[in-house]
C-alpha cells in the first residue's frame, strides 16, 4: 500500500459519508447539504491527487489500477442515485432519473464487457480513454452543480453534456472491447 492507494480508500470512505449526509438532510438541517458538498469536493480532489502522485512519482500499482475506478464509480453512482431518488432533497438539487439510468447503464455495459474480455482472453489491460476521463469530470461537475443548487438552466446544460459524454464514452469503450475480442 502506498499514499495514492490510501487516498483511493479515503475516497471510498468519503463516498459513504457523502451519501449519509444527503440521507440526513432536511430543510431544518441544511448543514447536512453543506457537509455533503464538502465531502464530495474532498473526494474529487483525492481523485486528482492520487492520480497525480501515482504518475508523478511512479507509484502506480496493480491494486491502485483496480481500486481507483471502483472508488470513482462508488462516488459518482452513489451521488447520481442519491440525487435522483432521495425524496428529502429539494428539487433544485435533484438529478432527473433518466440521467442516472444512462450513467448506470453505461457502467454496467463497460463492466460486462470487461468481464467478457477477461473470460475470453484471460489477463488484459485496458487504458482509460480521454473521453472516459472527460466523462468522469463532466459527471463530477453535474453532481457538484446539483449539490450547490445551480440555476436550472445551468444544471440542465451540464446534465445534457454529461449524458452525451456518458453515451459517447460508452460507445468508444464498447468498440474498443469489440476490437479486443476480434
The predicted-structure confidence for 12-39, as pLDDT tens digits, reads as follows 999 999 999 999 999 999 999 999 999 9
- In the chain, the percentage of residues whose pLDDT exceeds 90 is 82
pLDDT (tens digit per residue) in 70-103: 999 999 999 999 999 999 999 999 999 999 999 9
pLDDT at 50 over 80: yes
pLDDT at 127: 78
pLDDT at 123: 67
Domain ranges of the chain: 3-181
Cβ density class 83-111: b for 16+ within 10 Å, e for less: bbeeeebeeebbbeeebbebbbebbeebe
Q: How confident is the model at residue 117 (pLDDT cuts 50, 70, 90)?
A: confident
Sequence-ordered list of residues with C-beta below 8 angstroms from that of 85, at least 6 positions apart, any chain: 97, 100
Fold of 3-181: 1.20.120
166-173: average pLDDT:
96
65-71: average pLDDT:
93
Q: What is the pTM of this model?
A: 0.94
Residue with cell 464530495: 40
Radius of gyration (C-alpha) of the chain in whole angstroms: 17
pLDDT at 165 over 70: yes
Please, what is the average pLDDT of the chain? 94
140-161: average pLDDT:
98
Amino acid at each position: 500500500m502506498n499514499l495514492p492507494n490510501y487516498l483511493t480508500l479515503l475516497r471510498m470512505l468519503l463516498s459513504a459519508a457523502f451519501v449519509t449526509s444527503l440521507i440526513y438532510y432536511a430543510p431544518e438541517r441544511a448543514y447536512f447539504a453543506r457537509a455533503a458538498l464538502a465531502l464530495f469536493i474532498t473526494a474529487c480532489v483525492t481523485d486528482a491527487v492520487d492520480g497525480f502522485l501515482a504518475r508523478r512519482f511512479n507509484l502506480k500499482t496493480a491494486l491502485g489500477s483496480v481500486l481507483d475506478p471502483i472508488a470513482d464509480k462508488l462516488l459518482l453512482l452513489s451521488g447520481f442515485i442519491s440525487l435522483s431518488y432521495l425524496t428529502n432533497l429539494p428539487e433544485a438539487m435533484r438529478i432527473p432519473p433518466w440521467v442516472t439510468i444512462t450513467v448506470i447503464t453505461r457502467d454496467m455495459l463497460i463492466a460486462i464487457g470487461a468481464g467478457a474480455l477477461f473470460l475470453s482472453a484471460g489477463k488484459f489491460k485496458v487504458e482509460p480513454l480521454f473521453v472516459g476521463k472527460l466523462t468522469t469530470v463532466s459527471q463530477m461537475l453535474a453532481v457538484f452543480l446539483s449539490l450547490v443548487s445551480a440555476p436550472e438552466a445551468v444544471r440542465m446544460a451540464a446534465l445534457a453534456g454529461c449524458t452525451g459524454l456518458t453515451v459517447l464514452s460508452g460507445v468508444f469503450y464498447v468498440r474498443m472491447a469489440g476490437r479486443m475480442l476480434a
